[in-house]
Structure 1
Amino acid sequence: MKNWGVDLGGTKIECAVLDQNDPEKVLIRKRIPTEAANGYHHIISQIKKLIDAVSSELGEKPEKIGFATPGVLDPGTLQMKNSNTTSLNGQPLEKDLTEALGMRVRLANDANCFALAEKMMGAGRLYPNAEVVFGVIMGTGVGGGLIVGDRIIGGHHGIGGEWGHNELEFNGDDCYCEKKGCTEQVISGPALERFYARTSGSQRSLKEILANRETDPHAGKTIDRLLEFYGKGISSLINVIDPDLIIIGGGVGNIDLLYTEGFERIKKYIFNRGIVSTPIVKPVLGDSAGVFGAALL
């Protein structure tokens, strides 16, 4: 038996097939462009094209496929919502994929798939006693996924783990979710670059801002903002869920200061007299996590 997974991204669609008896054994990986600008039905056709190509190369068709998706399938309406690939929103993606592919499919948010893969195949294996794991995404956007045992906790509304859209800064920048000061609008890469531009009057990438932290006061202020609000945001996760392990993915999550100075900032806000013993680590699987998590569905 084989586990098939598809990571549906805004720019690419990737399929991976894993050996069910040895999930670390990848039998095939293949990707094609999403071409999302051509609309919802074109995305469906691209997915079918990819599955047909992988089936032909492997010499067999799947019986079922897991999908990591931007956004989430609403459990009530069975339509997609909260996707930055906006043509997916309001669409019955699970139903349409089932019909187009002629097989059972299961959808989960890409952050949930990241968390599941890292728990089962990645960083979680270094902490075998970690039953409750929270996977954080900090990159272009901010999101997360909650895993208990080997199960995604999607929640009643399908928004379990969505810490990126809680207010972190009072009356902060507008968010596409129609609130202000969401975590995503404070500590995502674009939000930090926007803050630097607003305070300094010039544009720099987050990498440049980080490199000039000691010599450029605006860069120093931007990185301090990241560390302070990171500490506040992560402390809220710990206060509510108190996971056994937190795994930080995404480009911003690569910043080493998060695991030293950022860790110290968590202590300011945690409801535990300043004691933080939660392991907070980088992921192991890199950009494979989404498609591997989809296969594990």
Structure 2
Amino acid sequence: MRAGIDLGGTKIEGLVLNGAGIPLARRRIAAPQGDYQATIRAICDVIRDLEAEAGPVGHVGVGIPGTISPATRLVKNANSTWLIGHPFDVDLESALGRPVRLANDANCFAVSEAADGAAQGAAAVFGVILGTGVGGGIALNGRPVSGLNAVAGEWGHNPLPWPRDDERPGPRCYCGLSGCIETFLSGPALAHDHLTATGENLSPPDIAARAEAGDAAADATLARYEDRLARALATVINLLDPDAIVLGGGLSNLSRLYANVPRLWGKWVFSDEVATRLVPARHGDASGVRGAAWLWPAEISSRP
């Protein structure tokens, strides 16, 4: 059996999978806010509840909204800022009394979709989170790639490529730079772009509904978004050349992306043809916790 924890900004989700990837037990609770020790206790409670239902599991995989710095062994780049500066893996292992393997939540997403999701069987998978923020994760042969600096896949904090005149220098990003991909492709960025163009303050689902109903302004907003997404993903294809790119997060529900973006990205990909598939996540918002469970090989994860 495999146990996984997805530690989000607002929720903690736990899951136990059998060897075939079938869920045996699941728990979802609100995440403590601003309290490091309470977060560790909450994860321990979730694991205890999962084991009460599914039986004992030996190892635990955890996806976090950040990463462990190779230099300091402390959490960095975490949206859940109360984790930053702590040896989270060490503290959680001590509290659980068993080995813990951590990965960035976007990498867990990519692993999940590569293991038994929309990109099952693909050798190279790039997982994209398009939501409140924009993230990316890489899975090669079903395993996450973190990189030497633990920032592999941090696609959202590269500049939007091939910017047009009206896109320079770009919105200011919380990372301190301007024009990051996240500032153009997140959900709030899409809503802001529509507001700037039309004066209407609409949510992304409302913009999509308006476009589907024939609203020309809403359709133009989505067309700008698709063009920017195509440029941004073209750089991924040029660098990684993945078999599949899997979209997750709220904006992955924009069904028109899967036809329109591949029609556009060939203009910027350095190839005569592009066979890379663009697909929606099979497991939806459960991909993160499933990917965390897949962090341990089956022959290890079942050991007591």
Taking structure 1 as the reference length, what is the TM-score of the superposition? 0.92
Deviations 1:129-178 (A, max 9, x none): x2111111112211111111122111011111111110105411111111
Shift of 1:57: 3.3
How do residues 72-91 of structure 1 correspond to structure 2 at under 5 angstroms?
72-91=67-86
Please state how far the C-alpha of 1:216 moved relative to its aligned partner. 4.4
Rounded to whole Å, the distance in 1 between the matches of 2:275 and 2:45 is: 47
CA distance in 2, matches of 1:241, 1:58: 39
Whether 2:88 is the aligned partner of 1:93: answer yes
SS in 1 for 2:266: helix
Q: What residue is the counterpart of 1:110 in the other structure?
A: 105
Deviations 1:183-238 (A, max 9, x none): 11101111110111223223111112122237545423321220110110010000
Matched residue, 2:129 = 137
Aligned-partner residue type, residue 44 of structure 1 = I
SS at match of 1:260: helix
RCO higher in structure (CA 8 A, sep ≥6): 2
Structure 1, unmatched stretches of 5+, are none
- Asked if the contact 2:243–2:275 (Cα under 8 Å) also holds between the matched residues in 1, the reply is no
Residue equivalent to 1:43:
39
2:159 is aligned with 1:167: yes
Residues 45-60 of structure 1 correspond to what in structure 2 (within 5 A)? 45-60=41-56
- Are 1:25 and 2:17 counterparts? no
Where structure 2 has 5 or more consecutive residues not aligned to the other structure, the ranges are 296-304
Distance in 2, Cα, partners of 1:226 & 1:218 = 13
- 1:65 aligns to 2:60 (yes or no): yes
- Residue 234 of structure 1: SS of its match in structure 2? helix
Among 210, 216, 227, the alignment partner of 2:208 is: 210
Partner of 1:253: 252
Give the aligned partner of residue 146 of structure 1: 138
Q: Which residue of structure 1 aligns with residue 179 of structure 2?
A: 181
Amino acid at match of 1:280: L
User: Quick one: percent identity of the two aligned structures?
Assistant: 41
Between the two proteins, the alignment pairs up a number of residues equal to 288
* Counterpart contact for 2:76–2:85, Cα < 8 Å: yes
1:120 and 2:115 aligned: yes
Contact 2:3 2:59 in 1 (8 A): yes
Alignment RMSD: 1.6
Give the Å deviation of 1:278. Answer: 1.1
Is the contact between residue 6 and residue 64 of structure 2 (CA under 8 Å) also seen in structure 1?
A: yes
TM-score norm. by structure 2 comes to: 0.90
Confirm whether residue 271 of structure 1 aligns to residue 270 of structure 2.
Answer: yes
